[in-house]
Amino acid sequence: MPGCAAIDCSNSGKKGFLMKRFPRDPLRRKEWLIKMRRDKWKPTDYSCLCEVHFAPEMWEKTRDDGTRKLRSNAVPTLFSFTSSTTKNKRKSPANRNTIIQDCFQFESSASAPCTSASPQSSLEATGESAQSPESVEGLVKSWSGTASEKS
């Protein structure tokens, strides 16, 4: 059986999810596609949605054998794009670069400590220490010298 046809859903019957085929009635099928926000996509006879996308009230009472049946007028309504929780978005490269540049800005006489919590805490978590551009440049030169001596 194929996987779920919903966007950003990787559920399948192999993973233990109940899969429901699209209705054969063209009007109901179109309604499902609109709810899925895939109204231009054409499902095949084998395209399915998993049970996760149907609200509890869309199901008939559980049968004695433990199986569930969708109501005849059931429409999928639960999708990742309708959830109220938002994913943690990654910081843009420009923001990350600004934070890094802030940490490496040094006064002419003494180096200033990093004032941004994120890079400093990540360095402490890994056990690394922040180095000035001059010391990094020195390490590169010393490494280059070592590499050329070995050749």
Please report whether residue 8 resides in a domain: no
99, burial (CB in 10 Å: exposed 0-12, middle 13-18, buried 19+): middle
Domain boundary among 24, 51, 82: 82
65 or 89: which carries more pLDDT confidence? 65
Average pLDDT over residues 52-75: 86
* Per-residue model confidence (pLDDT) at position 108: 43
123 or 104: which carries more pLDDT confidence? 104
Question: Could you tell me whether strands 19-21 and 48-50 are parallel, antiparallel, or unpaired per DSSP bridges?
Answer: antiparallel
* Per-residue model confidence (pLDDT) at position 133: 58
Identify whether residues 78 and 125 lie together within a single domain. Answer: no
pTM of the model: 0.49
Report the percentage of the chain scoring pLDDT > 70.
56
DSSP-derived 3-state class of residue 97: helix
128 or 78: which carries more pLDDT confidence? 78
Structural domain for 135, as ranges:
93-150
